[in-house]
Amino acid sequence: MSVTASDIPASPLSSDELYLVDSHCHLDRLRQGGLSEQEMDDIVAAARYNGVKRMLTLPTTLDDMPAVVALARRHPEIVYALGVHPLTPLENEPSLDELRSLIERYEPVAIGEIGLDYCTDEQGEYRIAPDIQRERLRRHLVAATEARLPVCIHTREAREDTLSLLKAHTDPDVGGVLHCFTGDLEMAREAVRMGFMISMSGIVTFHSAENVRELARAIPLDRLLIETDSPYLAPVPFRGKMNQPAYVLEVARCIADVRGISVDEVIMQTTANFHRLFNRVSAV
């Protein structure tokens, strides 16, 4: 797959001092999905062309860490987190001491993607038992708080347990983000009260997602982040294509439209928010 100018929108950035951040993507998934090293270079170049100068990539398992670190070493625009996704099956759960050791070894800028996902299959079965998910999340939260690292939280059909664990095991001065958020406004407000930010993905552009656009209107701008969650959830007008960090621009455009403000304002504030939360990431 090569990336051409037709694959990305024209950049709206009015100043070289402005730049976008993709606060949540899975670039290792793109590599594991069969893209060559050159094609990955094209993905990063397309993002850079579109003004995206920082990309936070998140593993779904600790086994992914070497590939994630290799991407970051090749591309200075990429920074990385460390963690196990709630739906990743494991033979052995990492202990708290193991997480501490891996944080010291890899020096991530955040812990994630972690969280709770209580969606069930057609037979009503959980993919990973809730008690296993809760203990996995608790250990990651404790390790993150000890290391003074923000957390990137996946939450689906698990509102009360997510909020309960965040209240018990996070520090508001460190905080984190509810990523790709599609929950209710009261959950978002409760998270904000605990020092969290709320991240909007390409879902905000979907024609059926008026509820998410309502969230984008209501959440304070100084608590918003934008993301792609690539390679998933490509925004309009790129539905059906493999998502990539260059497309985070469309998320910014949509939020600007629904709030009645300029794209520049959305870009400036969400980039500032990113660096305030992920304070180990250097600014451009």
Q: Give pLDDT tens digits for 240-279.
A: 999 999 999 999 999 999 999 999 999 999 999 999 999 9
Give the global pTM. 0.93
The DSSP-derived string for 69-90 is: HHHHHH-TTEEEEE---TT---
Q: Is 151 exposed, middle or buried (0-12, 13-18, 19+ CB in 10 A)?
A: buried
User: Comparing 32-36, 76-80, 100-104, 122-126, which segment has the lowest mean pLDDT?
Assistant: 32-36
Where does residue 143 rank: exposed (0-12), middle (13-18), buried (19+ CB within 10 A)? buried
Instruction: Write out the two tokens for 50.
Output: 């579109």
d(C-alpha 49, C-alpha 180), whole Å: 24
Tell me if 278 sits within 8 A of 56, measured CB to CB: yes
Which pair of structure tokens corresponds to residue 263?
A: 């794209």
Contact predicate 1/39, CB 8 Å = yes
Q: How far apart are CA 53 and CA 174, in angstroms?
A: 23
Cα separation of 74 and 177, whole Å?
Answer: 26
Confidence of residue 1 (pLDDT cuts 50, 70, 90): very low
Question: Helix/strand/coil (H, E, C) string of 204-272?
Answer: HHCCCCHHHHHHHHHCCHHHEEECCCCCCCCCCCCCCCCCCHHHHHHHHHHHHHHHCCCHHHHHHHHHH
Cβ(106)–Cβ(94) below 8 Å: no
Q: Per-residue pLDDT for 8 more than 60? A: no
162-192, pLDDT tens digit by residue? Answer: 999 999 999 999 999 999 999 999 999 999 9
Q: Is 153 helix (H, G, I), strand (E, B) or coil?
A: strand
